[in-house]
Structure 1
Amino acid sequence: MMDFDDFSGNLPGKPLSQGEKAAAVLLAMGKTVAGRLLKYFTQHELQVIIACAQSLRSIPPDELTVLVNEFEDLFTEGTGLMDNAKAIEGILEEGLTPDEVDSLLGRRTAFQGYEASIWDRLQDAEPAFIGKFLLREHPQTVAYVLSMLPSAFGAKVLLELPDNRRADIMNRTVNLKNVSPKAAEIIENRVMELIAEIDADRNSAGSTKVAELMNELDKPQVETLLDSLATISREAVGKVRPKIFLFDDLLQMPQRSRVMLFNDIAAEVVTMALRGATLEIRECVLASISPRQRRMIESDLAAGMAGVNPREVALARRAVAQEAIRLSNSGQIQLKESDTEQQAA
């Protein structure tokens, strides 16, 4: 390790500080030799040398000879060390990686601060939330975002993506090439929108908790509680109601989502959930299952509610609603038609 205090002696002209002396020695050595010495300095020492080199005065050859007489064979008459900033940059590039040079020279300080602010802030959200957002984006965009996330968090987000999309996104991430600055800017702007959604979601944590509680109740109980809440704050109802999903809300679910939902729900659960249901609900559910399963369920429903425990019906409906919420949180289905789809319909 080079110690700045090792340089001593009275030099002509304005006295040099220890950092200036070290910078002068490195500048006089030339890039190749000086670059090999950089690894022996600490980060702090390098920063001091760089700062000194930026303002280092012109040093005549005789002064250099006094300062570094052990290296006198490297000096030639007329060495003036006038372009110190450019010279020290060349030396750094000879011995350090580009990222290390950029960091020491402060080239990327502002950009890295921006990078850290957006990619690190994503870790404040649940992986499922990020995964759901990414499902709206092009797979190539998702690949870029995953490549920028810290590995541990990125892996969790990847597991939140549907199986049928995961392999393609992994392949795109593996083969990801250099992204143009313009494309990166567009993607990062989308990430900033995601961060805004995260902040909004965090601010609405209370309404989310209330909705989760109400999702465990039956429709009459939910309506009673919402009516009671409305007497205090209609604004609070407006925040809570969109996050509630009950069995009857299947009517607002897109058909393709209903098909996916009932694909893995046991026939006996579907049958129990449909007992006593309105004809509209019954038809929308039966239209989402296979013809064979539909015939079996319709046959069972023909018996009506005789001998059926209402509590079992409520539990079956709650099981369907909870499965819908789970699939929605993982980005596999939509609970409601988007505004665009509703307008098209």
Structure 2
Amino acid sequence: MAETNDKLITPEDGAGMQSPSEDEETSVVHTLSGQQKATALLIAMGKPTAARFLKYFTPDELRKLSGQARNLPDIKISDFEKLVQQFEEAFAEGASFSRAEERFTSLVRETLPEDEAAAILNPNQDTELSYANVFEIMNRMTAEELHPYLTNEHPQIIAYIVSRLPDELAARVLVAQIPEVRSSIVQRILDLKPVHAAADAIISQAMYPILVKHTESKKKSHYKRIATILNQLDKNDLDSVMTSLESIGIEDMSNIQALMFMFEDIPRLTNRARLLLFDEIPLDTVITALRDADTTLIALVLASLSQRTRRMVEAELATPDIGLSRDAIIRARREVASTALGLAQQGKINLDAERTSSITTAP
């Protein structure tokens, strides 16, 4: 292998010393992987600038970059210039990937706590929670919810748990104990010594199955939250996201879909459900929502209106509304969908009538 010069060459020192072909030969840039190149640039940026970029990386990506940092070779200033040039060219060409799944993942992570988001995004991943994650679950519980899980624990365990809770929650948990146990807990907290990591792990392992039952009881609300998030997407984005979610499991997907409804789903409703729905929608909202809609959908909606209202809507739709924005149409359609979801939650209509009918009539 040819020996390379490890001396750091400044632009002034290196001027005229190498021909372009020699420079290409000695450049370490061509031996680096994409992750190594990204890591090198982040290091060269310095802490303030790099910190602004790091927030856009996922934890898994940061772990990979950290591993690359330990194995980076010495890089010359001239090589950094080549790296910057390569990244500039890459950005100029643009990236060719769909952002639908990334947008959905970001929404879930920003909306739900870390462990709950992980359960939705990686439902088949059997990960062992650290003690910190277990206490995050406890911190989101009320004293009334937490108390039943602690009643059978040894006072020393309760004391340690109470010592790790936020002040207000700890106080409420303490008050919920019977006087004798309360006194013992306070004394044990006063005498509490630093707890070894192994003991933390044991407590975590013991509490995890109990707390998982508590978090699983909230899974239904997770379905509703995810459905609410997805209902905010337009039809094209939603189709792309739903395709990317095929791996989450048939049961979870079905539970989410059962809570989803968009304006374009109106044909799924029975005639009676459509009559009930549009009886709740203001006339102006109906007119706005129907602008630029599919003709079949317009006909279904018009058939759900009273004769007088139908004539008024038809007259309005026959006159173009030049000043109406696309955002106004989307807001009106979301209002219709939201009203349908509300009626379904009240048990007044069935959002999935067509699918249910097809299942029951299947041979």
TM-score range, shorter chain: 0.3 to 0.5
The structure whose Rg is larger is 1
Q: TM-score, normalising length from structure 2?
A: 0.37
